[in-house]
Structure 1
Amino acid sequence: MKRRVLYITGVISSVITALLTIFGFLATNRLMFLKMKDSEFILEREIISKRFDEHWYQTVRKDDIWIESPNGYLLKAIFLKPLETAKTVIVCHGVTENKINSIKYARLFERLGYNSVVYDHRRHGDSGGKTTSFGFYEKTDLQVIVHAIRERIGKRALLGIHGESMGAATTILYAGTFVDEADFHIADCPFSDFSEQILHILRKNTPIRTAMALRIANVFLKMRDGYTLNLVSPREVVKNISKPVLFIHSMEDDFILPYMTVELYEAKKGDKMLKLFQKGAHSKSFNDNPVQYEKTVQEFLDRFGFRN
């Protein structure tokens, strides 16, 4: 009888272990290898919406740049130079997008007196990299891009960073973790903590309601990609940022909830500004409020002396 109980217990334990292993691999696969939007789809979408001017892009003065990531691959960047100025903004796109989605912001900053650098995050567009880490490895990629651009424009030139969604979280993680070579930052719809963000998505789209799934995912994520979800937390580092930050979000965003941006704004010390648009789904603040968005950015630059 005792042997039978031990046998049944062993079988049950094996089944549970197998199920947890399957769940861990499936969950981390979903994170690490999130399906990208097709590049042609992004280009066509931006052209139809008149956010991408093909003639301007083909004729504008620009440099193609390949930058080596400390994580072991090449990053593709394009330095757009429509103006005779050293003032520059680096634009970081969101997850599943690419540098073409950033062109609309390049045109905005052109109107405000800045050239721009658009680039592809790891595993996006033309850049290398096998996995997406939602800011963990992306922040060190941004660090080398900022350094490379700073060397090109000089130490005295104004340099800003604009990030959208994952790009905004990456911007905060960079500025709050490393020596910040930029002069200002604009964070549009960032998450404040990736674990909370994943739990929100799970509760919204699946029957899962507890954080146990995150603990299982963390074990496999650490083994497979070298980090855990709790290490992707802009909330933990935003207090370290000394440069001015403009925080932007739309109240209609139900993917990354607006409270996360408010939380980051409140935690940021020193110079800062917050704008919450009433209209706009996730990453659509500019698309749905282009005039007000540009006025907000201009006000931020004027307020902290970055239009000189």
Structure 2
Amino acid sequence: MKKKTLTWTLPLIGIAATSLFASERLFNFAFKRVNYVPETSADKQKYADAYYAYVDWYQAVSKEKWYLHEHDPKNRMVAEYIPAETPSNKTVIISHGYKGNGETMANFAQMYHRLGFNVLLPDDRGHGESAGKYISFGWLDRLDYLQWIQQVIDRSNADVKILMFGVSMGGATMEMLSGESLPPQVKAIIADCGYSSIEAELTYLLKRQFHLPKYPIEPLVSTISKRRLGYYLGDVTATEQLKKNKRPILFIHGEKDVYVPVGMAYENYAATHAAKRLWIVKNASHAESFWINPTRYQAHVEEFLETYFDAQD
């Protein structure tokens, strides 16, 4: 009897140990900060020259360094502020993508700068010059953006109008932020290719990139997240936050996005009860909507702003 029990027990122990090891590896791969910006996907390499032209502009333009918790190295957050060419009461706060930083949003910074905006580009937790051991995929970042918003208000005149904008993880961050109690100075939100939830995105990528099932890996990764970041993955979703959103919001998503599937855009749009628009960009892959046609992208943004941002007091 004991021999039979041992025959069953040893493989189960091996499976459990393998699952735990794989989950720890996956958590570190996905959530642990890296101190560099990884190369872009192969389908966007063709935009490299255009991208670096925007980076050259970003590096040359006059800007200021802003901080949250400046004198606390473990919690210090860093942002670059680019004032408008002429004094403006319009400010856009831009949220970057996964393992990026403020500089990787140089193309959007230039677009909004040309539209007469002051531009604030934070480095999120675990990214760029900001502190943090782990990437929170937008959930903890949303709390930092509340502080960035307040800093913009404190440093501006009373009638400042704030636009929130983000791409990929940054788009999801803006969606998660939307459910918070936002000050009246925040007039509108634009979210480009944000996911519906961290759990859904991880589960999708487990299957697509690693050919692994949701169970038991996702629950184990979720438990690690709870221990290190303070939340289970299933406890936080963009869709639940969007149900509480009161700001006009524009969703942008690439039709051929295989990193954050386009179905998530429809989920996010359906969850929103505030004024909303959805633009699905034909033939665009993940975070490619701008690059396919920057002029058309700007036109869609301007049309949304004319309706929901510029007309507001």
Is residue 134–residue 232 contact of structure 1 (8 Å, CA) maintained in 2?
no
Contact 2:95–2:122 (CA<8 Å) still a contact in 1? yes
Aligned 8 A contact 2:284 2:292 in 1: yes
Moved more, 271-280 or 89-98: 271-280
Distance 1:159 1:74, change over 3 A: same
Q: Compute the displacement of 1:47 (Å).
A: 7.4
Give the alignment partner of residue 105 of structure 2, picking from 102, 105, 114: 102
Secondary structure at the aligned position of 1:254 is classed as coil
1:285 and 2:289 correspond: yes
Normalised by the length of structure 2, the TM-score is: 0.87
Asked whether the 8 Å contact 2:54–2:110 carries over to 1, the reply is no
Q: Would you say the 8 A contact 2:193–2:265 is kept in 1? A: yes
**C-alpha distance after superposition, 1:173-203 (max 9, x if no partner):** 1121343552111000000122121121122
* Compared CA separation, residues 60 and 26, structure 1 to 2 (3 A): closer
Percent identity among equivalent residues?
25
Conserved? CA contact 1:243–1:271, under 8 Å: yes
CA contact (8 A) 2:47 2:291 kept: no
Quote the residue 1:80 is aligned against. 82
Aligned residues of 1:222 and 1:228 also touching (Cα < 8 A)? yes
Q: Is the 8 A contact 2:38 2:99 kept in 1?
A: no
Q: Deviations over 1:73-94 (max 9, x none)?
A: 1111111013311210001010
Instruction: Give me the TM-score of the superposition, normalised by structure 1.
Output: 0.89
Shift of 1:211: 4.0
Partner of 1:133: 136
Indicate the residue corresponding to 2:122 in structure 1: 119
Which stretches of structure 1, 4 residues or more, deviate above 6 A after TM superposition? 44-47
C-alpha RMSD of matched pairs (Å): 2.8
Q: How many residues get paired?
A: 306
Residue in structure 2 matched with residue 61 of structure 1 by the alignment: 62
Structure 1: tracts of 5 or more residues without a match: none
**Residue in 1 that maps onto 2:279:** 275
Contact 1:52–1:103 at 8 Å: present in 2 too?
no
Amino acid of the structure 1 residue aligned with 2:151: A
Q: Structure 1 204/81 Cα, relative in aligned 2: closer, same or farther at 3 Å?
A: same
Check conservation: 2:34, 2:127, Cα contact below 8 A: no
Residues 125, 7 of structure 1: alpha-carbon distance in 2 compared, 3 angstrom cutoff: same
Query: Post-superposition shift, 1:9?
Result: 4.9
- Give SS of 2:78's match: strand
Match of 1:193 among 197, 203, 212: 197
Partner SS for 2:179: helix
Deviates more, 1:263-272 or 1:92-101: 263-272
Give secondary structure in 2 for the equivalent of 1:118.
strand
